[in-house]
């Protein structure tokens, strides 16, 4: 087993990783920026080290500083959490070269999945269903692009191979707009991602976002832990997530899940990962793979009872999975709300001191947070301060428990999006379940 793990992240996920380490008897090393010096999880880690100023580029995103911190503290491994360097193949490789374990997949797998053209090709080869579209990079020639678009059928979406965070894509409804869309996206991609390669696929009009969680060990075993529905999004940011996905026939999910697990074995994947799909008209279409733990992993943990972060650490230690696909049971339903320090309806960030924090509790409620009363939310990072997760015997019970939990949560001193979550829980579309990825934005526009 690993002995000392450096946590190269901050906020709720840093604490989540620290807890998993403690459970497994692994020492934690928490690095922090000057802006996070007072964070409660820094004080509770076994070791802590300041790695630089608030600016992430000179702290949480600095490979050199993190390597130095690992060396100074005698860490034998690094857990990257999500965001920051978690999907940076160069970071994984630098750790490997320094003789440290990266708690994640091999650098080569991160690289393949980070290039969406390569990722799609690998998934097609592994039998994972993809969004209809070309198999490679778009040619420079306009006429050739037009032919590809005709074949796919309008509307199409032009996407950057190196894109991320919902940037670097453009929808095209008619041939006349294609050449300009390709040119603008290409320029944007070169500038923002350092990679001008583009690809094209069918634009799906009202899909749902459904993703498959996988775990793969270093001994050729891979399982899938069910699906999550993350369709409630605003500007490509997930707001509410749940497991299982309401109303999708189980045999369809079983088939795609089995493909994902098999693909992991095929590409030599290791660790936790998520295959993201758009689901429309009874079909799954792969869009990308995330090669890290995700914000919404707790809903899967709640319905399967499997500790995903602990398994990341065990797998990185070289241990084999000690259960098989047949052992995985799904119990009840879980829903997660991301609590952000922001205005609930204008979405303006509201960092600042939390005068009073009283988290909810009771049966089926889980809270993942790094905040407490008198904690100051720094303005430099992501505004998420907590996740409230409710589990119930069925979706109705999970919603009822979530509503009660949000009603008893007290946050004073800063604004949060709790009122938005309360309104979502009363919204008829969400209550029915199975809405598409544009539902939340349409509803927000209507009520404005």
Catalytic residues: 292
d(CA 157, CA 149): 9
83-to-80, 199, 293, 333, 441 alpha-carbon distances in Å: 8, 24, 10, 27, 24
Q: Given the structure tokens 């995330």, which residue do they identify?
A: 290
d(CA 191, CA 35): 30
d(CA 114, CA 108): 10
Token pair belonging to 172: 């095209």
Q: Considering beta carbons, is residue 120 or 401 the nearer one to ligand ADP?
A: 120
- Among the listed ranges 31-39, 161-169, 173-181, 378-386, the one in contact with ligand ADP (CB under 6 A) is 161-169
Residue 181 C-beta: closest distance to ligand ADP, Å? 14
Residues 285-304 within binding reach of ligand ADP (CB under 6 A): 287-288
Contact between 157 and ligand ADP by CB under 6 A: the answer reads yes
Contact between 352 and ligand ADP by CB under 6 A: the answer reads no
Contact between 314 and ligand ADP by CB under 6 A: the answer reads no
Q: Considering beta carbons, is residue 213 or 221 the nearer one to ligand ADP?
A: 213
Contacting residues for 367 by C-beta, under 8 A, at least 6 apart? 359, 360, 361, 386, 387, 388, 389
Residue 115 C-beta: closest distance to ligand ADP, Å? 12
Map residues 185-224 to x or -, x wherever contact with ligand ADP holds by CB under 6 A. Answer: ----------------xxxx--x-x---------------
d(CA 38, CA 28): 17
Map residues 243-282 to x or -, x wherever contact with ligand ADP holds by CB under 6 A. Answer: ---------------------------------x-x----
Binding-site member from 350, 437, 440, 443 for ligand ADP (CB under 6 A): 437
Q: Considering beta carbons, is residue 83 or 359 the nearer one to ligand ADP?
A: 83
Helices (H), 135-217: 142-152, 178-193
Contact between 132 and ligand ADP by CB under 6 A: the answer reads no
d(CA 291, CA 310): 16
323-to-110, 215, 269, 329 alpha-carbon distances in Å: 25, 11, 18, 11
d(CA 273, CA 311): 12
Binding-site member from 40, 166, 361, 419 for ligand ADP (CB under 6 A): 166
Residue 242 C-beta: closest distance to ligand ADP, Å? 16
Q: Considering beta carbons, is residue 167 or 219 the nearer one to ligand ADP?
A: 167
Sheet holding 77-79, edge to edge: 47-52, 27-33, 4-7, 77-79, 101-102
Residue 138 C-beta: closest distance to ligand ADP, Å? 14
Q: Considering beta carbons, is residue 285 or 333 the nearer one to ligand ADP?
A: 285
Residue 167 C-beta: closest distance to ligand ADP, Å? 6
Find the angle CA(431)-CA(436)-CA(439) to the nearest 5 degrees: 70
Q: Considering beta carbons, is residue 236 or 250 the nearer one to ligand ADP?
A: 236
Instruction: Give residue number: closest CB to ligand ADP.
Output: 204
Whole-angstrom Cα Rg for the chain: 22
Q: Considering beta carbons, is residue 88 or 369 the nearer one to ligand ADP?
A: 88
List of residues contacting ligand ADP (CB under 6 A): 131, 157, 163-167, 201-204, 207, 209, 236, 276, 278, 287-288, 437
């Amino acid at each position: 087993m690993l002995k000392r793990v450096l946590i190269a992240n901050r906020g709720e996920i840093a604490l989540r990783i620290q807890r998993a380490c403690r459970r497994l008897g692994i020492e934690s090393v928490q690095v922090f920026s000057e802006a996070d010096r007072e964070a409660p999880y820094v004080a509770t880690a076994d070791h802590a080290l300041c790695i630089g100023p608030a600016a992430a580029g000179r702290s949480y995103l600095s490979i050199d500083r993190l390597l130095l911190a690992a060396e100074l503290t005698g860490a034998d491994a690094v857990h990257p959490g999500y965001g920051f360097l978690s999907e940076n193949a160069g970071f994984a490789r630098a750790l490997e070269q320094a003789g440290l374990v990266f708690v994640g997949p091999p650098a080569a797998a991160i690289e393949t999945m980070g290039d969406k053209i390569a990722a799609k090709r690998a998934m097609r080869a592994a039998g994972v269903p993809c969004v209809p579209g070309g198999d490679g990079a778009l040619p420079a020639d306009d006429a050739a692009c037009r032919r590809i678009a005709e074949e796919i059928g309008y509307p199409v979406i032009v996407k950057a191979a190196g894109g991320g965070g919902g940037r670097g894509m453009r929808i095209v409804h008619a041939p006349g707009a294609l050449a300009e869309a390709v040119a603008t996206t290409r320029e944007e991609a070169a500038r923002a991602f350092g990679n001008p390669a583009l690809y094209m696929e069918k634009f799906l009009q009202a899909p749902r976002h459904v993703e498959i969680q996988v775990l793969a060990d270093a001994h050729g075993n891979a399982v899938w832990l069910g699906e999550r529905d993350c369709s409630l999004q605003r500007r490509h940011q997930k707001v509410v997530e749940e497991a299982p996905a309401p109303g999708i026939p189980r045999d369809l999910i079983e088939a795609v899940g089995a493909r994902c697990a098999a693909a992991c074995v095929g590409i030599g994947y290791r660790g936790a990962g998520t295959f993201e799909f758009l689901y429309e008209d009874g079909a799954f279409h792969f869009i990308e793979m995330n090669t890290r733990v995700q914000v919404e992993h707790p809903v899967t943990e709640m319905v399967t009872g499997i500790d995903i972060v602990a398994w990341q650490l065990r797998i990185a230690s070289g241990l084999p999975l000690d259960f098989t696909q047949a052992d995985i049971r799904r119990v009840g339903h879980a829903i997660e709300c991301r609590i952000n320090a922001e205005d609930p309806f204008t979405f303006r960030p509201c960092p600042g001191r939390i005068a009073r924090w009283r988290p909810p509790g009771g049966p089926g409620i889980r809270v993942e947070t790094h905040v407490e009363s008198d904690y100051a939310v720094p303005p430099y990072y992501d505004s998420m301060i907590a996740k409230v997760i409710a589990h119930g015997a069925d979706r109705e019970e999970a919603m009822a428990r979530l509503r009660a939990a949000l009603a008893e949560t007290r946050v004073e001193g800063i604004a949060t999006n709790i009122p938005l979550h309360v309104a979502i829980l009363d919204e008829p579309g969400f209550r029915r379940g199975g809405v598409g990825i544009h539902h939340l934005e349409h509803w927000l526009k209507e009520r404005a």
